[in-house]
Amino acid sequence: MQQIFNFIFKNSHKLLFLLLLGISLSLTIQSHSFHKSKVISSANFLTGGVYERMNAINEYFNLKARNEALAIENARLKSLLFNAKDTTKTILPDTIRGVKKINVIVSKVIRNSFNMPENYLTINSGKANGVESDMGVINDLGIIGIVENTSEHYATVQSILNRNSKINAKIKKSNHFGTLQWDGRSTGFVQLIDVPRLAAIRKGDTIVTGADSQIFPENIGIGTIDKIYTDDETNYFTLDVKLFNDMTNLGHVYIIKSKEKEEIQKLESESQQSSK
């Protein structure tokens, strides 16, 4: 306490000056509208800057929640899109007939391998979320892989960067089909094999999922043709496809649950049993 009194006593002239200066400024501001408006503007500028920075900090910490909300909304929109029309059949859209043949489940990649011959992902959705084996996994850019095993709350996904992966795909502009697989070399490229030599193709053409796939809806993006190889001993092309996705950096994904696949598999199973 004595130190405070000593400080005031030693700096009494300065403190008195600051007090009188503050009173004079206050009286000047109160009595002149111009000065008052300037002070208010300056105060608003300072507080506005503080609030803006605080809001930026809050937004940063809320990014995870916003990303989750956006992923859920994207899943809803994709479900509507996949059910909007069937380009391979001349029937009324499923949504008009009140039948929803494709459901979309949102999930997130929690583990991702990409530097081995047989790569897998782990996602944080499982049987409790309706995830089953042989469901297609995609994101906003294109296909990711196929669900292989599931537990109650998790599932493993066979990545398209897996030498055992074989997916029906086609050249978008010509509808010529082939089999999509991976040669185990680059994480940015997969190969489309068994493409007929009569197909008109060129570098940059888009590759999408084919109609013969029971796992993925038709026309889901995969990538673009980067290189074209001709096998002189066969009548087929092999295409290097540059992926739309960066398979080394994956976040939210969408799992495709197709009721058509279940119906087709059931029908094929019954046909096989009846032929025995």
Domain ranges of the chain: 2-61, 99-270
Residue 175 has pLDDT above 50, yes or no: yes
HEC letters along 201-258: CCCCCEEEECCCCCCCCCCCEEEEEEEEEECCCCCEEEEEEEECCCCCCCCEEEEEEE
pLDDT value at 228 more than 70: yes
C-beta separation of 58 from 188 below 8 A = no
* Most confident listed range (72-81, 236-245, 254-263): 236-245
pLDDT at 84 over 60: yes
**Top-confidence residue, 258 or 207:** 207
Averaging pLDDT over each range in 3-12, 80-89, 175-184, which range is the top one? 175-184
Superfamily of domain 99-270: Rod shape-determining protein MreC, domain 1 (2.40.10.340)
CB within 8 Å of 30: residues ≥ 6 apart: 36
Are 192 and 223 in contact by the 8 Å Cβ rule? The answer is no
The C-alpha atoms of residue 212 and residue 24 are separated, in whole angstroms, by 85
pLDDT digit string (tens) for 191-223? Answer: 999 999 888 899 999 999 998 888 898 889 999
What's residue 231's pLDDT? Answer: 77
What's the average model confidence in pLDDT over 146-153?
93
Where does the pLDDT of residue 227 fall: very low under 50, low under 70, confident under 90, or very high at 90 and above? Answer: very high
**Residue 92 reports pLDDT greater than 50:** no
Mean pLDDT of the chain: 78
DSSP state of 153: S
CB atoms within 10 A of CB 95: 15
Which residues partner with 229 through β-bridges?
238
On the question of pLDDT at 3 being above 50, the answer is: yes
